[in-house]
Structure 1
Amino acid sequence: MHVTHDPAALPAPTIGFDDFLAVDIRVGTIVEALPFPEARKPAFKLVIDFGAVIGLRKSSAQITEHYTLADLPGRQVAAVVNFPPRQIGKFLSEVLTLGFPDADGKVVLVTPTAGVPNGGRLF
């Protein structure tokens, strides 16, 4: 499956509700943000707290255009927690932190508008 970041792209094909339920999207709070200078594209290393059941997970996120390392701790974000881990250089990214492209294609994080408990599942 090819994923495009083109905001003008056509919608994906229709899927069943069970397909949606197979993607486990949870909310977590960033507890640590670190530089990732060895990444091919500018990115940060994040440690995200998804609550007692899922715990802490690591993610590589290409979010350097809109965020600084100091902006990120304490921010809640949405992430897919049931993809297999992905090796990015020497870093193992365990979750996919979600965002939308701005008008220039730079990532803006998906964040709840009010605080919610870590580990809550998107529905």
Structure 2
Amino acid sequence: MDLDFWRSKWENNQIAFHEGKPNALLVTHLAQLGLRPGARIFVPLCGKTRDIFWLLSQGFEIVGAELSALAVEQLFADLGISPEMSDLGPLTRCSAPGLDIFIGDIFELTRET
């Protein structure tokens, strides 16, 4: 994965891959997983996906991973939340109630993080 490629996509606002609404397949099929509200869901390469808004509204806790700090800043701004920031070496954790997003290379994320 070319990290600079993806960072530049966000910096240049070339994010045609970003959907302005929750993924229709997620909305249709999530109930089939049998998860209860309060369950934690991992959203890799999350960007500022509207899936997070929808999952939070359904009562789930979210853990996300995203390379672009700009994407995560936009996500929290769109949510109207000021996250608590923690430096974890190669990663930065942005936390708010029910939501933890790790900024950095997803391959640096460990169970301990």
Structure 1 length-normalised TM: 0.27
Higher RCO by CA contacts (8 Å cutoff, separation 6 or greater): 1
> Which has the larger share of helix?
2
